[in-house]
Amino acid sequence: MTPAGAGVFAAFAPAAQAAGAGLLLGLAVAAVVAFGNATSSARLAVVYPVSGGTYVYGRERLGDFWGYLAGWGFVVGKTASCAAMALTVGYYVHPGSARLIAVIAVAALTALNYFGVHKSALATRMIVGVVLAVLVLVVVTGWTSGRPQTGRLTPVTGHGGFAVLQAAGFLFFAFAGYAFFAFAGYARIATLGEEVRDPARTIPRAIPLALGITLVVYAAVAVTVLAVLGAAGAAGTNAPLVAVAKAADGSWLVPLVRAGAAVAALGSLLALLLGVSRTTFAMARDRHLPGLLDAVHPRYGVPHRAELAVGAIVLVVVTAVDVRGAIGFSSVAVLVYYAIANASALTLGRGQGTKLIPALGLIGCLVVAVSLPLTTVLTGCCVLTVGAVVWICR
């Protein structure tokens, strides 16, 4: 998982559309919720250093149904995330052929996963280095161009009393839901517990570190995007960092931003496909999903049927949704996933940390989830309800 992942290239457009100049306060809300989730996940990873993440935590701490619902939420939510990342590749590489490029990316990376070709530690560091370099260039170019206007950072200017209400509440939580998509990558660390060296020690360190780096980077980029483009400009594009480069007279930077976004999104997509397929495999092994998916390739040592099934579903989603819809739905499902993680952490003993953080994380997840657009919330609830019905009828 890359701390400075592809969410930074994708989340700000729907976020600005949801909250306008309140984007920055929404980012703070998302970061607080993500901190609670990260802390709870890290505590639980010490107790259960195995693959599956909250699917395992919920099952062991709250009961089989809640573990299953967490796993279902993770699988469907992160499947939508896969589609969002694939479409992000397309919009940055060639907007006119975004869906075709997305389909090719999903097919190619599913094949890589099938043959057991995963990102190495060196490849991960290289991706992080490329992405951070591009983001630094965008921030520096944006602020040295003379185009930023600090007035665009204030949500209560120019709109009278309504803006005061906006600054006070609901729209910030709506943005936080979209911004949460950008923070949610640390979930993938916990799903790979059996494939990490010394997971009881490594995972609790990796999750908060990844979150902290992500917050600093995203805050810097969010301020730049909003100051250069304004809320309306950010909301009107599917490639906001390219728009920043163009607005800042940095045409030389546009190819680098496109390349950096493609590298980041492809790396994130590869990790997402890996995490979703592993959770699908774990649920099939427990017969919470069709047992046909409980198979490991004799040569490549990967859950090949789960990987093919996940890849096929992502291909369908890519052809049916837009990137903003995918981000919103993913956020709802994954917020439910983390709500179950926080509820699980609340059951830990006194010697395993204060209960205040998981309690705040649980409340934050639920509030942010229901603050997203109504159609997004209803769609998420319907899909989660389908999962519950599958559980009852199995």
Res 161: pLDDT: 40
DSSP conformational letter for 152: G
Q: What's the Cα-to-Cα distance from 60 to each of 50, 67, 70, 72, 216, rounded to whole Å?
A: 12, 7, 12, 16, 34
Q: What's the Cα-to-Cα distance from 188 to each of 17, 136, 293, rounded to whole Å?
A: 28, 25, 20
Long-range pairs for 385-394 at CB < 8 Å and ≥24 separation? 387/68, 387/69, 387/72, 387/73, 387/76, 388/65, 388/69, 390/72, 391/65, 391/68, 391/69, 391/72, 391/288, 394/287, 394/288
> Among 3-17, 18-32, 148-162, 352-366, where is mean pLDDT lowest?
148-162
SS3 for 51? strand
Percent residues over pLDDT 90 in the chain: 20
- Helix 240-247 crosses helix 199-235 at what angle (to 10 degrees)? 50
Average pLDDT (204-233) is 78
Tell which wins on pLDDT, 247 or 213: 247
Residue 219 in this model has a pLDDT that exceeds 90 = no
Res 181: pLDDT: 63
Residue 243 in this model has a pLDDT that exceeds 70 = yes
**Measured distance CA(88)–CA(257) in Å, rounded:** 12
Tell which wins on pLDDT, 354 or 87: 87
Does the structural domain 7-393 have CATH classification 3.20.10.10?
no
Res 99: pLDDT: 93
Tell which wins on pLDDT, 178 or 134: 134
Tokens linked to 87: 């479409």
Average pLDDT (141-145) is 86
Is residue 293 left, alpha or beta, with left meaning phi > 0 and alpha meaning psi from -120 to 50?
alpha
**Model confidence band, residue 394 (pLDDT cutoffs 50, 70, 90):** confident
Res 3: pLDDT: 42
Tell which wins on pLDDT, 347 or 238: 347
**Model confidence band, residue 327 (pLDDT cutoffs 50, 70, 90):** confident
Query: DSSP secondary structure string, 32-45?
Result: HHHHHHHHHHHHHH
Residue 346 in this model has a pLDDT that exceeds 90 = yes
Tell which wins on pLDDT, 24 or 186: 24
What is the domain partition of the chain in residue ranges?
Answer: 7-393
Res 172: pLDDT: 47
Q: What is the pLDDT of residues 263-302, one digit of tens each?
A: 888 888 888 888 888 888 888 888 888 888 888 888 888 8
**Measured distance CA(393)–CA(260) in Å, rounded:** 46
> Among 10-24, 143-157, 299-313, where is mean pLDDT lowest?
10-24
At residue 352, what is the residue type? Q
CA 315 to chain CA centroid, Å, is 18
Mean pLDDT of all residues in the chain? 79
Residue 61 in this model has a pLDDT that exceeds 70 = yes
Q: What is the pLDDT of residues 154-175, one digit of tens each?
A: 654 434 444 433 443 444 455 5
- Residue labelled with tokens 């729209």: 171
Residue 196 in this model has a pLDDT that exceeds 70 = no
Average pLDDT (177-203) is 58
Residue 340 in this model has a pLDDT that exceeds 90 = yes
**Model confidence band, residue 389 (pLDDT cutoffs 50, 70, 90):** very high
Task: Evaluate whether 36 touches 364 at the Cβ level (below 8 Å).
Answer: yes
**Measured distance CA(345)–CA(355) in Å, rounded:** 8
Res 160: pLDDT: 41
At residue 262, what is the residue type? A
> Among 97-106, 189-198, 240-249, 251-260, where is mean pLDDT lowest?
189-198
List phi, psi (to 5°) of 238. Answer: -90, -5
List phi, psi (to 5°) of 51. Answer: -70, 150
- Per-residue b or e along 81-113, where b marks 16 or more CB atoms closer than 10 Å to that residue's CB: bbbbbbbbbbbbbeeeebbebbbebbeebbeeb
Alpha helices by DSSP H, the chain: 7-10, 12-19, 23-47, 54-61, 64-93, 98-114, 121-144, 160-168, 170-183, 187-191, 199-235, 240-247, 254-285, 304-320, 323-345, 356-370, 374-393
**Measured distance CA(340)–CA(330) in Å, rounded:** 16
Average pLDDT (335-344) is 93
In a 13 Å sphere around the CA of 165, the CA atoms on its Cβ side amount to: 4
> Among 50-54, 62-66, 107-111, 224-228, where is mean pLDDT lowest?
50-54
